[in-house]
Amino acid sequence: MSNLLAGLNDMQKKAVTTTEGAVLVIAGAGSGKTTVITRRIGYIIEQGLAQPWQILAITFTNKAAAEMLERVGKLFPEAAGDMWVKTFHSTCLRMLRRDIDKIGYSSNFNIYDTTDQKRLVKECIATCGFSEENYPVKSVMNAISSAKNRSLSADGFAAENAGDFRGSNYAKMYQLYEKRLKENNALDFDDLLLKTVELFEKYPDVLEYYQRKFKYIMVDEYQDTNHVQYKLVAMLAAKSKNLCVVGDDDQSIYKFRGADITNILDFESQFKDAVNIKLEQNYRSTQNILTAANEVICHNYGRKGKNLWTDSGEGEKITLKAATNQIDEAMYIGGEIEKLVKSGEYAYSDCAVLYRTNAQTRSFEENFTIPYRILSGLRFYDRKEIKDILSYIRVLFNPSDDVNLARIINTPKRGIGDTTISKIAAIAQSVGKSMFDILTDPLYLEPLGRARLKLEEFASMILDLRAMVDKVPLTELFDAIYEKSGYMESLLAEKTAEAMGRIENLDEFKSKAAEYEANVENPTFEGFLDNISLVSDVDNYDEEQNAVVMMTLHSAKGLEFPVVFICGMETGLFPGMMAEMNDEEMEEERRLCYVGITRAKKKLYLTYAQQRMMYGKTESRLPSKFIGEIPATLIYREPDPNARVYHFGADTGSTYVSRTNTLGTKENLNSVLSTFGIGTAASKIASASSAPCEFKKGDKVRHKKFGDGMITEITQTGGDAELEILFDRVGTRKLLSSFAKLEKI
């Protein structure tokens, strides 16, 4: 036997060699799951259980798929080219290019990105006679995507919402959206999965072809699958029964994208005689970091349960910093990174700043004096000039695509006005043809008068470019698009720094085409278009650039850094206010915290601001309850000589640091105390006043935040008085006398 099992721990070996039937591998963060998957593929090939082309390995990002394929290639160089190691979307795209004509589409369909979808949804809202004020584009897109993730067609969605006024209106837009997609011979990203399932359901022979083809199926990041993905995998594995899924229920953080954690939690009940294997040994982080992660996530109920451990030592304590405000927080983090880099032990690229929302980046951008980059800023392919040229490319590939044609018909300006474009679109709709069909038929152009010549010139240019597709190298085709469309000439004529930047981006776009042709065995125009359609932000993450990386906690999943700063660890921000009212939301937020903690290899910093300005409003903040779920013995608290310290009793060993006594209500104090796992304000606050209450029932009082009110009840509790006050504006509130800062009126 080869050395495929060399260096693996016992549970990893079990995951590699358990090849038959359904297998669930619960792989904790940093437990070597990619190694296990690639060795498992190698083991199946080495044992003669299957040929490389009989194995399907699915993951969620192109980057992960490329890494997996590269590792398999090192084990079996002759096998990698025949294997399907792909993302869900690229797997389905390949299947649809082969057989989508069976369900009424042409194989040269385009894939609409978010920008294309927005444009089409806006049209649908207007056509249905609705306003964007009542039906925002984003809410319509979310409703459609959510339905598709549940395998719900437009007609099924309409039936589900029959009798619901607003739901029925969403259904009308969904139905029109689907109709227009088909007329444009286009799919959105959700359709890549949904249409593949539809193809399998309507044509069992196509499904059977793939069931026979793939003897072994492996799915990575299974906790992130939605209902359609579960259905797809179950259908493909129905014949061989050899399905291995790898994931971590504690890292399921994409519910907002349709991910269904029950897919991994219920795997053993969905697939008969499934074997459950847990990978708990971590090869990434120190034990203190892992213990913190274990202690936080154990507060969740909806999980399989595991305990991460490492033999690499305890490591440093977790640093906790209470900042005055978001500016202080940013300057502290920047200063700490400077110290780390000056020590010679770390580079800027070793450090990551993770946050809950993109709105938090402003204070860092305004106060950082260190090199940094923000992941999930404007994507390269979302820049206007790139979107414009992409629209040209998509129209060359699929002339029926009215959405992309409408974008370029007068880009750059060529004297074709909006009125003319609207007339062409109306004619196309009335006769059931595409806009390009109208442009290439003199019969329909005749009534358009003076615009006819310009329209004919545009159509002729597109036809000339289409004749070059797959006959010349991509870089030559790009040059022709830039020249014949007049796009490059229009930018040169501007003679501005912005225009020069756009030209540089277009040159980079052409370089990407050259790179594709150099790295792919049989490059095609279709292949290039598919390749760029499925690129994500994380795929473009360049680990070699020496700069601090800043990103949301969601974007950080799958990455790791020697030093991690998780900022904004405050109640109301992380976890968010909505989570306080919903147990499922709170568990997802806690999983997100777990993901953030386990990105750190050597050093972990947690920071929060005692006051934060967001969305134009400054508010006092309390530390996140997740901080309190980490044992105090694991934490080093940055000293703050200006802070006021509240002691919560000798039995707790915990303190809450605040520069301002703005806790106010009993509920807020109890929130702080529960953050640290201490108990209630009435029984635990050693520093609470024991002076007699200066108020009596019926007193009228004024509160800085809540306004005027009247005391309706007074209860003596723990050396203090709890005041129940009926405020004129906000209703009844309960406040502690010693903290409320009330004024008698």
The set of catalytic residues is: 33-34, 220-221, 251, 599
Per-residue CA distances from 120 to 82, 176, 395, 674 (Å): 38, 10, 16, 48
- What residues does 570 pair with on adjacent strands? 623
Q: How far apart are CA 595 and CA 618, in angstroms?
A: 29
Query: Nearest CA to 251 among 270, 279, 286?
Result: 279
* Contact of 30 with 507, CB cutoff 8 Å: no
Query: Nearest CA to 251 among 2, 557, 11?
Result: 557
- Scanning 343-469, the segments in alpha helix (DSSP H) are 361-367, 384-397, 402-408, 418-431, 435-439, 442-445, 451-466
The one-letter amino acid code at 178 reads: E
- The residues near 76 (Cβ < 8 Å, ≥ 6 apart) are 42, 45, 52
* Contact of 566 with 606, CB cutoff 8 Å: yes
Residue 426 structure tokens: 């109306």
Q: Residue 105 belongs to what H/E stretch? A: none
Cα radius of gyration (the chain) = 30
Phi/psi of residue 520, each to 5°? -110, 135
Q: How far apart are CA 38 and CA 54, in angstroms?
A: 15
Q: Concatenated DSSP letters for 205-260?
A: HHHHHHHHH-SEEEESSGGG--HHHHHHHHHHTTTT--EEEEE-GGG---GGGT--
Per-residue CA distances from 597 to 53, 295, 309, 443, 674 (Å): 38, 11, 14, 66, 21
Phi/psi of residue 253, each to 5°? -130, 15
Tokens 């006594």 appear where?
Answer: 661
> Strands 700-703 and 743-744: what pairing?
antiparallel
Q: Residue 158 belongs to what H/E stretch? A: helix 154-160
Per-residue CA distances from 359 to 280, 327, 578, 711 (Å): 35, 14, 17, 39
* Contact of 218 with 56, CB cutoff 8 Å: yes
Q: How far apart are CA 722 and CA 353, in angstroms?
A: 41
Q: How far apart are CA 177 and CA 614, in angstroms?
A: 36
